Structure 1
Amino acid sequence: MLNVKTCIIILASWCASCSQTTGQKSAVSLFNGKDLTGWHMDVPERDTVPAARKPFIVRDGNLVSLGTPVGHLITDSVFKDYVLEAEYRFAGEPGNCGILVHASTPRILYKIFPKSIEVQLMHENAGDFWCIGENIEVPDMEKRRGHKDAWGTVEGKERRILNLTDNSEKPLGEWNKVRIECREDKVRVWINEDLVNEGSNATASKGHIALQAEGSEVEFRNLMLKGL
Protein backbone atom coordinates (compact mmCIF):
# COMPACT_ATOMS: atom_id res chain seq x y z
CA MET A 1 0.00 0.00 0.00
CA LEU A 2 1.30 3.47 -0.84
CA ASN A 3 2.00 5.78 2.07
CA VAL A 4 0.84 9.41 2.05
CA LYS A 5 4.31 10.77 1.32
CA THR A 6 4.72 8.53 -1.73
CA CYS A 7 1.31 9.53 -3.12
CA ILE A 8 2.12 13.21 -2.70
CA ILE A 9 5.44 12.81 -4.52
CA ILE A 10 3.82 10.94 -7.43
CA LEU A 11 0.96 13.39 -7.81
CA ALA A 12 3.27 16.40 -7.52
CA SER A 13 5.46 15.01 -10.28
CA TRP A 14 2.50 14.46 -12.58
CA CYS A 15 1.01 17.89 -11.86
CA ALA A 16 4.33 19.58 -12.57
CA SER A 17 4.73 17.80 -15.88
CA CYS A 18 1.14 18.54 -16.84
CA SER A 19 2.08 22.22 -16.98
CA GLN A 20 4.46 21.51 -19.88
CA THR A 21 1.86 20.94 -22.59
CA THR A 22 3.59 21.05 -25.95
CA GLY A 23 2.28 21.74 -29.45
CA GLN A 24 5.28 20.86 -31.62
CA LYS A 25 4.62 21.43 -35.33
CA SER A 26 7.94 20.08 -36.63
CA ALA A 27 9.02 16.51 -35.97
CA VAL A 28 11.12 16.07 -32.83
CA SER A 29 12.74 13.02 -31.29
CA LEU A 30 11.44 11.91 -27.91
CA PHE A 31 14.56 9.81 -27.34
CA ASN A 32 18.12 11.06 -27.80
CA GLY A 33 19.72 7.62 -28.08
CA LYS A 34 21.94 8.25 -25.06
CA ASP A 35 19.82 8.57 -21.91
CA LEU A 36 16.24 8.98 -20.70
CA THR A 37 16.17 12.77 -20.68
CA GLY A 38 12.56 13.95 -21.06
CA TRP A 39 11.12 10.85 -19.39
CA HIS A 40 10.47 9.66 -15.84
CA MET A 41 9.65 6.21 -14.44
CA ASP A 42 6.74 5.08 -12.31
CA VAL A 43 7.60 1.62 -10.99
CA PRO A 44 5.50 0.64 -7.94
CA GLU A 45 7.94 -2.03 -6.69
CA ARG A 46 10.63 0.60 -6.24
CA ASP A 47 8.47 2.38 -3.63
CA THR A 48 9.20 -0.40 -1.15
CA VAL A 49 12.35 -1.88 -2.70
CA PRO A 50 14.46 1.11 -3.77
CA ALA A 51 17.25 -1.23 -4.86
CA ALA A 52 14.99 -2.97 -7.40
CA ARG A 53 16.36 -2.55 -10.89
CA LYS A 54 15.09 0.16 -13.18
CA PRO A 55 13.16 -1.58 -15.96
CA PHE A 56 14.01 1.00 -18.63
CA ILE A 57 17.54 1.43 -19.93
CA VAL A 58 19.47 2.62 -22.97
CA ARG A 59 21.43 -0.12 -24.74
CA ASP A 60 23.25 0.10 -28.06
CA GLY A 61 21.39 3.31 -28.87
CA ASN A 62 17.97 1.75 -28.28
CA LEU A 63 15.46 2.46 -25.53
CA VAL A 64 14.86 -0.90 -23.87
CA SER A 65 11.97 -2.00 -21.68
CA LEU A 66 13.33 -4.94 -19.69
CA GLY A 67 9.80 -6.03 -18.78
CA THR A 68 10.27 -6.27 -15.02
CA PRO A 69 9.63 -4.91 -12.51
CA VAL A 70 6.32 -3.80 -13.98
CA GLY A 71 5.88 -0.09 -14.52
CA HIS A 72 5.89 2.76 -17.00
CA LEU A 73 8.28 5.21 -18.61
CA ILE A 74 6.39 8.47 -19.02
CA THR A 75 7.12 11.65 -20.94
CA ASP A 76 7.66 14.69 -18.77
CA SER A 77 5.54 16.72 -21.20
CA VAL A 78 1.87 16.52 -22.11
CA PHE A 79 0.91 16.30 -25.78
CA LYS A 80 -2.25 17.03 -27.77
CA ASP A 81 -3.01 16.63 -31.48
CA TYR A 82 0.06 14.82 -32.73
CA VAL A 83 1.47 11.92 -34.70
CA LEU A 84 3.85 9.57 -32.88
CA GLU A 85 6.01 7.22 -34.91
CA ALA A 86 8.31 4.59 -33.44
CA GLU A 87 10.01 1.32 -34.27
CA TYR A 88 9.89 -1.61 -31.85
CA ARG A 89 10.78 -5.28 -31.71
CA PHE A 90 10.68 -8.26 -29.40
CA ALA A 91 14.26 -9.32 -30.01
CA GLY A 92 14.05 -12.55 -28.00
CA GLU A 93 10.81 -14.17 -26.85
CA PRO A 94 7.38 -12.96 -28.01
CA GLY A 95 5.69 -10.93 -25.32
CA ASN A 96 3.61 -8.02 -24.15
CA CYS A 97 4.05 -4.25 -24.18
CA GLY A 98 2.12 -1.15 -25.15
CA ILE A 99 2.22 2.57 -25.78
CA LEU A 100 -0.20 4.61 -23.69
CA VAL A 101 -1.63 7.87 -25.01
CA HIS A 102 -3.51 10.58 -23.09
CA ALA A 103 -1.99 9.26 -19.85
CA SER A 104 -2.84 11.21 -16.70
CA THR A 105 -3.68 10.02 -13.17
CA PRO A 106 -1.13 7.37 -12.09
CA ARG A 107 -1.91 3.85 -10.86
CA ILE A 108 -5.69 3.84 -11.25
CA LEU A 109 -5.82 0.23 -12.53
CA TYR A 110 -4.37 -2.61 -10.43
CA LYS A 111 -2.36 0.11 -8.64
CA ILE A 112 -0.01 0.08 -11.64
CA PHE A 113 -1.50 1.50 -14.83
CA PRO A 114 -2.15 5.22 -15.36
CA LYS A 115 -5.43 6.54 -16.69
CA SER A 116 -4.98 6.34 -20.47
CA ILE A 117 -5.82 4.62 -23.73
CA GLU A 118 -3.36 1.84 -24.52
CA VAL A 119 -2.23 1.03 -28.02
CA GLN A 120 -1.31 -2.62 -27.68
CA LEU A 121 2.00 -3.90 -29.08
CA MET A 122 1.69 -7.45 -27.75
CA HIS A 123 3.03 -9.97 -30.27
CA GLU A 124 0.24 -10.95 -32.71
CA ASN A 125 -2.15 -8.42 -31.11
CA ALA A 126 -0.57 -5.12 -32.12
CA GLY A 127 -3.13 -2.37 -32.61
CA ASP A 128 -5.74 -3.44 -30.06
CA PHE A 129 -7.05 -0.64 -27.85
CA TRP A 130 -7.23 -1.15 -24.08
CA CYS A 131 -9.33 1.33 -22.10
CA ILE A 132 -7.70 2.26 -18.79
CA GLY A 133 -9.96 4.71 -17.01
CA GLU A 134 -10.59 6.43 -20.35
CA ASN A 135 -12.90 5.23 -23.11
CA ILE A 136 -12.93 5.24 -26.90
CA GLU A 137 -15.52 4.05 -29.41
CA VAL A 138 -15.09 2.14 -32.68
CA PRO A 139 -17.44 0.76 -35.34
CA ASP A 140 -18.77 -2.74 -34.64
CA MET A 141 -18.24 -2.26 -30.91
CA GLU A 142 -20.10 -5.37 -29.79
CA LYS A 143 -18.26 -7.54 -32.31
CA ARG A 144 -14.87 -6.20 -31.24
CA ARG A 145 -15.42 -5.60 -27.51
CA GLY A 146 -18.02 -8.07 -26.37
CA HIS A 147 -21.52 -7.57 -24.99
CA LYS A 148 -22.35 -3.95 -24.22
CA ASP A 149 -23.37 -4.72 -20.64
CA ALA A 150 -19.78 -5.75 -19.88
CA TRP A 151 -18.04 -2.66 -21.30
CA GLY A 152 -16.06 -0.52 -18.91
CA THR A 153 -12.71 1.04 -18.14
CA VAL A 154 -11.97 -0.47 -14.72
CA GLU A 155 -11.00 -3.86 -13.32
CA GLY A 156 -13.36 -6.67 -14.27
CA LYS A 157 -14.84 -4.92 -17.30
CA GLU A 158 -14.38 -5.51 -21.02
CA ARG A 159 -11.62 -3.00 -21.73
CA ARG A 160 -10.10 -4.58 -24.84
CA ILE A 161 -11.15 -3.48 -28.34
CA LEU A 162 -9.80 -5.81 -31.01
CA ASN A 163 -7.83 -4.43 -33.94
CA LEU A 164 -8.95 -4.66 -37.56
CA THR A 165 -6.27 -6.80 -39.21
CA ASP A 166 -4.25 -9.99 -39.07
CA ASN A 167 -0.63 -10.47 -40.08
CA SER A 168 0.36 -6.80 -39.98
CA GLU A 169 3.37 -7.54 -37.76
CA LYS A 170 6.75 -8.67 -39.01
CA PRO A 171 8.35 -11.95 -37.86
CA LEU A 172 9.69 -12.08 -34.33
CA GLY A 173 13.02 -10.27 -34.04
CA GLU A 174 12.40 -7.86 -36.92
CA TRP A 175 11.63 -4.18 -36.41
CA ASN A 176 7.99 -3.07 -36.64
CA LYS A 177 6.87 0.48 -37.25
CA VAL A 178 3.93 1.89 -35.30
CA ARG A 179 2.24 5.17 -36.15
CA ILE A 180 -0.30 6.69 -33.75
CA GLU A 181 -2.32 9.73 -34.73
CA CYS A 182 -4.18 11.57 -31.96
CA ARG A 183 -6.42 14.33 -33.30
CA GLU A 184 -8.99 15.86 -30.95
CA ASP A 185 -11.12 12.91 -29.72
CA LYS A 186 -9.87 10.49 -32.38
CA VAL A 187 -7.04 7.94 -32.29
CA ARG A 188 -5.79 6.06 -35.37
CA VAL A 189 -3.09 3.37 -35.41
CA TRP A 190 -0.96 1.91 -38.19
CA ILE A 191 1.38 -1.07 -37.89
CA ASN A 192 3.87 -1.36 -40.77
CA GLU A 193 1.68 0.98 -42.85
CA ASP A 194 -1.52 -1.06 -42.28
CA LEU A 195 -4.36 0.87 -40.64
CA VAL A 196 -5.09 -1.49 -37.76
CA ASN A 197 -7.44 0.52 -35.55
CA GLU A 198 -9.27 3.81 -35.35
CA GLY A 199 -11.61 5.18 -32.74
CA SER A 200 -13.46 8.36 -31.85
CA ASN A 201 -15.30 10.01 -28.97
CA ALA A 202 -12.31 9.37 -26.72
CA THR A 203 -12.88 10.68 -23.22
CA ALA A 204 -9.46 12.37 -23.24
CA SER A 205 -7.70 14.42 -25.92
CA LYS A 206 -4.33 15.15 -24.32
CA GLY A 207 -1.90 13.66 -21.85
CA HIS A 208 1.48 12.09 -21.36
CA ILE A 209 2.83 9.31 -23.56
CA ALA A 210 4.03 6.20 -21.74
CA LEU A 211 5.87 2.99 -22.58
CA GLN A 212 5.19 -0.17 -20.61
CA ALA A 213 7.33 -2.67 -18.78
CA GLU A 214 4.88 -5.56 -18.70
CA GLY A 215 6.85 -8.76 -18.46
CA SER A 216 8.72 -8.86 -21.78
CA GLU A 217 11.88 -7.25 -23.10
CA VAL A 218 11.15 -4.82 -25.94
CA GLU A 219 13.47 -2.50 -27.85
CA PHE A 220 12.41 0.91 -29.20
CA ARG A 221 14.12 3.32 -31.57
CA ASN A 222 13.29 6.37 -33.71
CA LEU A 223 10.56 7.74 -31.45
CA MET A 224 9.46 10.81 -33.38
CA LEU A 225 6.59 13.17 -32.60
CA LYS A 226 5.02 15.85 -34.78
CA GLY A 227 2.18 18.16 -33.85
CA LEU A 228 -0.92 18.40 -36.06
Structure 2
Amino acid sequence: MKYRKTNTRILLLLGAIVFSQSCVSQVSKNLFNGKDLDGWHIDVPTMDSIPSAINPFIVRDGMLVSLGTPQGHLITDKIYKNYRLEIAYRFVAEPGNCGVLVHASTPRSLYKMFPKSIEVQMMHEHAGDFWCIVEDIVTDNMIERRGPKEHWGITEGKARRVKNLTDGSEKPLGEWNTMIIECLEDKVKVWVNGDLVNYGYNATVDKGQIAIQAEGSEVAFSKIMLSPITKMSGTTPE
Protein backbone atom coordinates (compact mmCIF):
# COMPACT_ATOMS: atom_id res chain seq x y z
CA MET A 1 0.00 0.00 0.00
CA LYS A 2 2.83 2.41 0.92
CA TYR A 3 4.56 1.58 -2.38
CA ARG A 4 1.41 2.46 -4.37
CA LYS A 5 1.01 5.76 -2.49
CA THR A 6 4.63 6.66 -3.25
CA ASN A 7 4.16 5.89 -6.94
CA THR A 8 0.97 7.96 -7.02
CA ARG A 9 2.73 10.92 -5.45
CA ILE A 10 5.58 10.65 -7.96
CA LEU A 11 3.13 10.54 -10.87
CA LEU A 12 1.22 13.55 -9.52
CA LEU A 13 4.47 15.46 -9.09
CA LEU A 14 5.62 14.64 -12.62
CA GLY A 15 2.21 15.68 -13.94
CA ALA A 16 2.45 18.99 -12.13
CA ILE A 17 5.90 19.65 -13.58
CA VAL A 18 4.75 18.87 -17.13
CA PHE A 19 1.66 21.08 -16.67
CA SER A 20 3.81 23.88 -15.29
CA GLN A 21 6.22 23.69 -18.22
CA SER A 22 3.29 23.69 -20.63
CA CYS A 23 1.87 26.83 -19.00
CA VAL A 24 5.22 28.59 -19.13
CA SER A 25 5.52 27.88 -22.86
CA GLN A 26 2.16 29.62 -23.44
CA VAL A 27 2.91 32.95 -21.78
CA SER A 28 3.63 36.19 -23.62
CA LYS A 29 7.23 37.06 -24.36
CA ASN A 30 9.06 40.02 -25.80
CA LEU A 31 10.93 38.83 -28.87
CA PHE A 32 13.42 41.65 -28.37
CA ASN A 33 15.28 41.50 -25.05
CA GLY A 34 16.37 45.15 -25.00
CA LYS A 35 20.08 44.25 -24.98
CA ASP A 36 21.08 42.45 -28.14
CA LEU A 37 19.75 40.54 -31.16
CA ASP A 38 19.66 37.17 -29.44
CA GLY A 39 16.97 34.99 -31.06
CA TRP A 40 17.26 36.79 -34.40
CA HIS A 41 19.50 36.63 -37.46
CA ILE A 42 20.06 39.13 -40.25
CA ASP A 43 19.74 38.70 -44.00
CA VAL A 44 21.18 41.75 -45.78
CA PRO A 45 22.31 40.93 -49.34
CA THR A 46 24.69 43.92 -49.56
CA MET A 47 26.73 42.49 -46.69
CA ASP A 48 27.53 39.43 -48.83
CA SER A 49 29.62 41.41 -51.31
CA ILE A 50 30.66 44.51 -49.35
CA PRO A 51 32.51 43.48 -46.17
CA SER A 52 32.49 47.06 -44.88
CA ALA A 53 28.69 47.38 -45.14
CA ILE A 54 27.09 48.10 -41.79
CA ASN A 55 24.51 45.95 -40.07
CA PRO A 56 21.32 48.06 -40.36
CA PHE A 57 19.81 46.53 -37.21
CA ILE A 58 21.19 47.89 -33.96
CA VAL A 59 20.28 48.26 -30.29
CA ARG A 60 20.12 51.85 -29.06
CA ASP A 61 18.97 52.99 -25.61
CA GLY A 62 17.28 49.66 -25.01
CA MET A 63 15.36 49.80 -28.29
CA LEU A 64 15.68 47.88 -31.54
CA VAL A 65 16.43 50.26 -34.39
CA SER A 66 16.20 49.57 -38.11
CA LEU A 67 18.49 52.12 -39.75
CA GLY A 68 16.81 51.58 -43.10
CA THR A 69 19.96 50.97 -45.15
CA PRO A 70 21.47 48.80 -46.39
CA GLN A 71 18.17 47.10 -47.04
CA GLY A 72 17.40 43.66 -45.67
CA HIS A 73 15.64 41.80 -42.90
CA LEU A 74 16.01 40.84 -39.25
CA ILE A 75 14.43 37.40 -38.88
CA THR A 76 13.49 35.32 -35.85
CA ASP A 77 15.34 32.05 -35.46
CA LYS A 78 12.11 30.32 -34.44
CA ILE A 79 8.95 29.55 -36.36
CA TYR A 80 5.63 30.71 -34.87
CA LYS A 81 1.98 29.81 -35.41
CA ASN A 82 -1.28 31.12 -33.90
CA TYR A 83 -0.13 34.23 -32.12
CA ARG A 84 -0.79 37.88 -31.38
CA LEU A 85 2.07 40.28 -32.03
CA GLU A 86 2.05 43.71 -30.37
CA ILE A 87 4.57 46.19 -31.73
CA ALA A 88 5.37 49.72 -30.59
CA TYR A 89 7.22 51.71 -33.26
CA ARG A 90 7.94 55.20 -34.53
CA PHE A 91 9.81 56.81 -37.39
CA VAL A 92 12.89 58.41 -35.88
CA ALA A 93 13.43 61.19 -38.42
CA GLU A 94 12.02 61.28 -41.94
CA PRO A 95 8.87 59.25 -42.63
CA GLY A 96 9.24 56.36 -45.02
CA ASN A 97 9.02 52.64 -45.47
CA CYS A 98 9.27 49.63 -43.19
CA GLY A 99 7.23 46.53 -42.49
CA VAL A 100 6.68 43.40 -40.45
CA LEU A 101 6.65 40.09 -42.29
CA VAL A 102 4.63 37.21 -40.88
CA HIS A 103 4.80 33.55 -41.92
CA ALA A 104 8.24 34.14 -43.44
CA SER A 105 10.18 31.22 -44.89
CA THR A 106 12.47 30.91 -47.93
CA PRO A 107 14.88 33.88 -47.96
CA ARG A 108 15.42 36.15 -50.97
CA SER A 109 12.44 34.75 -52.85
CA LEU A 110 11.37 38.11 -54.33
CA TYR A 111 13.77 40.54 -56.03
CA LYS A 112 16.58 38.53 -54.42
CA MET A 113 15.74 40.40 -51.22
CA PHE A 114 12.41 39.50 -49.61
CA PRO A 115 11.64 36.13 -47.97
CA LYS A 116 8.40 34.33 -48.80
CA SER A 117 5.88 35.87 -46.43
CA ILE A 118 2.90 38.15 -45.98
CA GLU A 119 4.01 41.68 -45.22
CA VAL A 120 2.08 43.95 -42.91
CA GLN A 121 3.06 47.39 -44.13
CA MET A 122 4.28 50.11 -41.76
CA MET A 123 5.02 52.69 -44.46
CA HIS A 124 3.94 56.15 -43.35
CA GLU A 125 0.26 56.78 -44.23
CA HIS A 126 -0.16 53.19 -45.43
CA ALA A 127 0.21 51.23 -42.18
CA GLY A 128 -1.77 48.00 -42.33
CA ASP A 129 -1.61 47.28 -46.06
CA PHE A 130 -0.88 43.66 -46.96
CA TRP A 131 1.85 42.86 -49.48
CA CYS A 132 1.91 39.34 -50.88
CA ILE A 133 5.46 38.03 -51.16
CA VAL A 134 5.32 34.66 -52.95
CA GLU A 135 2.42 33.86 -50.60
CA ASP A 136 -1.18 35.01 -50.97
CA ILE A 137 -4.13 36.14 -48.88
CA VAL A 138 -7.76 37.08 -49.54
CA THR A 139 -9.76 40.05 -48.23
CA ASP A 140 -13.24 41.39 -48.80
CA ASN A 141 -13.62 43.89 -51.65
CA MET A 142 -10.52 42.51 -53.35
CA ILE A 143 -11.00 44.25 -56.70
CA GLU A 144 -11.48 47.60 -55.00
CA ARG A 145 -8.45 47.11 -52.78
CA ARG A 146 -6.08 45.18 -55.08
CA GLY A 147 -7.08 46.28 -58.56
CA PRO A 148 -8.18 44.26 -61.62
CA LYS A 149 -8.05 40.53 -60.95
CA GLU A 150 -6.02 39.80 -64.08
CA HIS A 151 -3.13 41.75 -62.54
CA TRP A 152 -3.06 39.89 -59.23
CA GLY A 153 -0.04 37.80 -58.40
CA ILE A 154 2.59 37.05 -55.80
CA THR A 155 5.83 37.56 -57.74
CA GLU A 156 7.71 40.40 -59.43
CA GLY A 157 5.61 42.76 -61.54
CA LYS A 158 2.24 41.58 -60.19
CA ALA A 159 -0.37 43.42 -58.13
CA ARG A 160 0.74 42.22 -54.71
CA ARG A 161 -0.57 45.08 -52.56
CA VAL A 162 -3.93 44.81 -50.77
CA LYS A 163 -4.86 48.26 -49.46
CA ASN A 164 -5.88 48.66 -45.85
CA LEU A 165 -9.27 49.82 -44.60
CA THR A 166 -8.12 53.22 -43.34
CA ASP A 167 -5.05 55.40 -43.82
CA GLY A 168 -5.96 57.75 -40.96
CA SER A 169 -4.96 55.64 -37.98
CA GLU A 170 -1.30 56.60 -37.54
CA LYS A 171 -0.04 59.05 -34.93
CA PRO A 172 1.74 62.28 -35.97
CA LEU A 173 5.33 61.80 -37.06
CA GLY A 174 7.71 61.22 -34.18
CA GLU A 175 5.04 59.76 -31.89
CA TRP A 176 4.77 56.09 -30.97
CA ASN A 177 2.33 53.86 -32.83
CA THR A 178 0.96 50.52 -31.67
CA MET A 179 0.39 47.81 -34.25
CA ILE A 180 -1.27 44.54 -33.31
CA ILE A 181 -1.15 41.59 -35.69
CA GLU A 182 -3.13 38.43 -34.98
CA CYS A 183 -2.32 35.31 -36.98
CA LEU A 184 -4.59 32.31 -36.46
CA GLU A 185 -4.52 29.41 -38.91
CA ASP A 186 -5.06 31.02 -42.35
CA LYS A 187 -6.32 34.39 -41.05
CA VAL A 188 -4.48 37.64 -40.32
CA LYS A 189 -5.98 40.68 -38.55
CA VAL A 190 -4.24 44.03 -38.07
CA TRP A 191 -4.96 46.98 -35.77
CA VAL A 192 -3.12 50.33 -35.76
CA ASN A 193 -3.60 52.45 -32.65
CA GLY A 194 -6.83 50.66 -31.86
CA ASP A 195 -8.37 50.78 -35.35
CA LEU A 196 -9.00 47.56 -37.25
CA VAL A 197 -7.15 48.31 -40.49
CA ASN A 198 -7.04 44.95 -42.26
CA TYR A 199 -8.42 41.42 -42.13
CA GLY A 200 -7.32 38.66 -44.48
CA TYR A 201 -8.18 34.99 -44.74
CA ASN A 202 -7.48 31.90 -46.87
CA ALA A 203 -3.78 32.67 -46.63
CA THR A 204 -1.55 30.20 -48.43
CA VAL A 205 0.58 29.79 -45.29
CA ASP A 206 -0.23 29.58 -41.59
CA LYS A 207 3.14 29.59 -39.82
CA GLY A 208 6.68 30.81 -40.22
CA GLN A 209 9.29 33.20 -38.95
CA ILE A 210 8.71 36.86 -38.16
CA ALA A 211 10.85 39.51 -39.84
CA ILE A 212 11.48 43.23 -39.45
CA GLN A 213 12.52 45.22 -42.51
CA ALA A 214 15.24 47.72 -43.21
CA GLU A 215 13.70 49.45 -46.20
CA GLY A 216 14.92 53.01 -46.43
CA SER A 217 13.82 54.79 -43.23
CA GLU A 218 15.03 54.70 -39.64
CA VAL A 219 12.45 53.12 -37.35
CA ALA A 220 12.67 52.43 -33.61
CA PHE A 221 10.89 49.55 -31.89
CA SER A 222 10.36 49.57 -28.13
CA LYS A 223 8.21 46.43 -27.98
CA ILE A 224 7.77 43.28 -30.04
CA MET A 225 5.55 41.17 -27.78
CA LEU A 226 4.27 37.77 -28.85
CA SER A 227 1.35 35.95 -27.17
CA PRO A 228 -0.12 32.58 -28.19
CA ILE A 229 -3.84 32.71 -29.13
CA THR A 230 -6.58 30.18 -29.74
CA LYS A 231 -9.14 32.63 -31.15
CA MET A 232 -9.06 36.00 -32.84
CA SER A 233 -10.24 39.20 -31.21
CA GLY A 234 -13.58 40.44 -32.48
CA THR A 235 -12.80 44.00 -31.41
CA THR A 236 -9.67 45.86 -30.46
CA PRO A 237 -7.43 43.64 -28.29
CA GLU A 238 -6.80 45.03 -24.82
Unaligned runs of 5+ in 2: 1-23, 230-238
SS where residue 72 of structure 1 aligns?
strand
Check whether the contact 1:24–1:226 (CA below 8 A) recurs between aligned residues: no
Check whether the contact 2:127–2:167 (CA below 8 A) recurs between aligned residues: no
Check whether the contact 2:107–2:115 (CA below 8 A) recurs between aligned residues: yes
Alignment map for 1:73-92 (pairs within 5 Å): 73-92=74-93
- Quick one: percent identity of the two aligned structures? 67
Q: Which residue of 2 aligns with 1:129?
A: 130
Distance 2:157 2:223 in 1: 35
Q: Which residue of 2 aligns with 1:43?
A: 44
Check whether the contact 1:24–1:227 (CA below 8 A) recurs between aligned residues: no
Q: Residue 148 of structure 1: CA displacement?
A: 0.2
Q: Which residue of 2 aligns with 1:63?
A: 64
Distance 2:183 2:151 in 1: 26
SS where residue 222 of structure 2 aligns?
strand
Distance 1:126 1:160 in 2: 12
Q: Structure 1-normalised TM-score?
A: 0.89
Q: Which residue of 2 aligns with 1:218?
A: 219
Check whether the contact 1:57–1:64 (CA below 8 A) recurs between aligned residues: yes
Give CA deviations for 1:138-180 in whole Å, capped at 9, x if unaligned: 0000000000000000000000000001310000000000000
Alignment map for 1:187-226 (pairs within 5 Å): 187-226=188-227
Distance 2:176 2:168 in 1: 14
Q: Which residue of 2 aligns with 1:115?
A: 116
Check whether the contact 1:87–1:176 (CA below 8 A) recurs between aligned residues: yes
Distance 1:79 1:156 in 2: 29
**RMSD between aligned alpha carbons?**
0.9
Distance 1:24 1:60 in 2: 29
Unaligned runs of 5+ in 1: 1-22
Q: Residue 24 of structure 1: CA displacement?
A: 4.5
Q: Which residue of 2 aligns with 1:16?
A: none
Q: Structure 2-normalised TM-score?
A: 0.85
- Equivalenced residue count is 206
Give CA deviations for 1:70-109 in whole Å, capped at 9, x if unaligned: 0000000000000000100002101100000000000011
Alignment map for 1:21-32 (pairs within 5 Å): 24-32=25-33
Runs of 4+ in 1 over 2 A off after TM superposition: none
Q: 1:146 to 1:24 in 2, by over 3 A?
A: farther
Structure showing greater radius of gyration is 2
Distance 2:198 2:226 in 1: 19
One-letter amino acid of the counterpart of residue 112, structure 1: M
